[in-house]
Amino acid sequence: EDQVTQSPEALRLQEGESSSLNCSYTVSGLRGLFWYRQDPGKGPEFLFTLYSAGEEKEKERLKATLTKKESFLHITAPKPEDSATYLCAVQATGNQFYFGTGTSLTVIP
């Protein structure tokens, strides 16, 4: 069964303390892996798309990487405004998007 698992469920960091979020997946035929940020009461905001193992994407303090089994979202020197829930989604050959339950990130000033 196609599945997406994100860890940790929650993460508290001091401002400036770098860390990584994990998204592991088991799907038949990965078409793409997507990272989103979701703030309370809002819809998910698109961050990155990764299509193949070895691919990396960067945007400000965020960097996403992809292997054949998992993806990492690296956060370098986070700021309080980076606090949000980060969602990972995979698109498989069955055409569906499967979302993980997210990592809730809190950055403390």
Partner 1 sequence: NAGVMQNPRHLVRRRGQEARLRCSPMKGHSHVYWYRQLPEEGLKFMVYLQKENIIDESGMPKERFSAEFPKEGPSILRIQQVVRGDSAAYFCASSPPGRGYHQPQHFGDGTRLSIL
Binding stretches for partner 1 (CB under 8 A): 4, 31-32, 34, 36, 41-46, 49, 51, 87, 89, 91, 95-102
Minimum distance of partner 1 from residue 26's CB (angstroms): 15
Name the residue with tokens 């499967």.
Answer: 98
The CA distance from 107 to 84, in Å, is 9
> Closest approach of Cβ 11 to partner 1, in Å?
17
CB of 100 to partner 1, least distance (A): 6
Q: How far apart are CA 94 and CA 1, in angstroms?
A: 11
* Between 101 and 106, CB nearer to partner 1: 101
| 65-to-24, 70, 90 alpha-carbon distances in Å | 12, 8, 14
